[in-house]
Amino acid sequence: MPAARRTLLLTCVLTLLGSLLMACSALPNISVNGTPITNSQNSANGSDQQLNVWQTVSPGIELRYERWKGPSNNEDTMVIVRMNPVQIHLSVHYQPTQPLSVREWTKETGAHVLINGGYFDNNNHPTGLLVSNGEAHGQSYSAFGGMLSVDSQGNIRLRSLSAHPYDPDNEQLQQATQSSPMMIENGQRTQFNANGATERRTIVAQDKQGRLLFIISSGVSFSLDETADLLASSDLSLQTALNLDGGASTGIYVKDSANNEKVTIDAITALPIVVAVK
């Protein structure tokens, strides 16, 4: 092959390789299962994903990433949001006939933080009690599971329904979603029966200082038992923790006080139930 032709061929190959490398550098940061952890704008800023550091994203709301490794050696980057309950407004939203994506729910509610709620059936009806802006749907779980609620005074509470059953005659709830199992009660890891399947996970918790936490694992990494073990051994000082709907339902959105998107992990399925924080 003539030298000039070899030079031209080499130049073409190098140009093609350069284009491919530039394309690869533009790929978004992704979690284990390919779900974007942050948008492309924030992915360009490495400090946004610095591990084990609380970032204040708006008054009373902090964001943190932690790398967790389970007993089976599966790993995932956890998205953790910690909130001061006296500085936020929490609401439960329910649209059984018009379920939405996390992004769509965020636009509709104007939430600063939004996650999926409790379990629902094939008709998008809650499997337990749900209260949205004072309107109740479904029937409360009895002697199992837990409930995240807001009373008529605006007090946010996360509780075990075994230890503290719902009393419809004496409770005036404005917001509520129920799920199971309870994973942490009184600061201790609970015992429950569950299969060993790994899934995406959504957890709501309260720490020993009374702060509310949303904890998300977007990788198909941990079983329910592994998740409970990791919660109990974490440095989050958890007093109570409840497993919400997971798998295809797991999703979270976080934006800062300037409306800059910080985290979006969309659910795989459309959601009839979400929990929104402003």
Question: For residue 38, what pLDDT band results from cuts at 50, 70 and 90?
Answer: very low
Q: Whole-prediction pTM value?
A: 0.84
Sheet holding 75-83, edge to edge: 55-58, 61-69, 75-83, 212-222, 199-207, 238-243, 182-185, 188-189
Structure tokens at 116: 């999926």
Residue among 197, 199, 192, 276 nearest 242 (CA): 192
229, amino acid identity: D
Q: For residues 91 and 30, which has the higher predicted lDDT (pLDDT)?
A: 91
Which is more confident, 81 or 41?
A: 81
pLDDT at residue number 33: 30
Is 227 within 8 Å of 247 (Cβ atoms)? no
Tell me the average pLDDT of the chain: 87
Joined together, the tokens standing for residue 214 give: 């949303």
pLDDT band at 49 (very low <50, low <70, confident <90, very high): confident
Question: How large a percentage of the chain has pLDDT more than 70?
Answer: 83
- Give the model's pLDDT for residue 253: 99
Mean pLDDT value across residues 249-266: 98
Q: Can you tell me the distance from the alpha carbon of 65 to that of 215, in angstroms, rounded to the nearest whole number?
A: 10
Least trusted range by pLDDT, from 14-23, 147-156, 225-234: 14-23
Question: Peptide bond before 71: cis, by omega within 30 degrees of 0?
Answer: no
Write down the pLDDT at residue 39. Answer: 35
pLDDT tens for each residue of 118-128: 999 999 999 99
Listed in order, strand segments (DSSP E) in the chain are 55-58, 61-69, 75-83, 90-94, 113-116, 130-132, 135-137, 146-151, 156-160, 173-179, 182-185, 188-189, 199-207, 212-222, 238-243, 252-255, 261-265, 273-277
CA-based angle 28:32:38, to the nearest 5?
35
Query: How far from chain centre, in Å, is Cα 20?
Result: 34
Out of 24-33, 140-149, 152-161, pick the least confident.
24-33
pLDDT of residue 191: 96
| Model confidence at 147: pLDDT above 70 | yes
CA-nearest of 103, 99, 88, 124 to 214 is 88
Least confident of 36-50, 96-110, 124-138, 254-268: 36-50
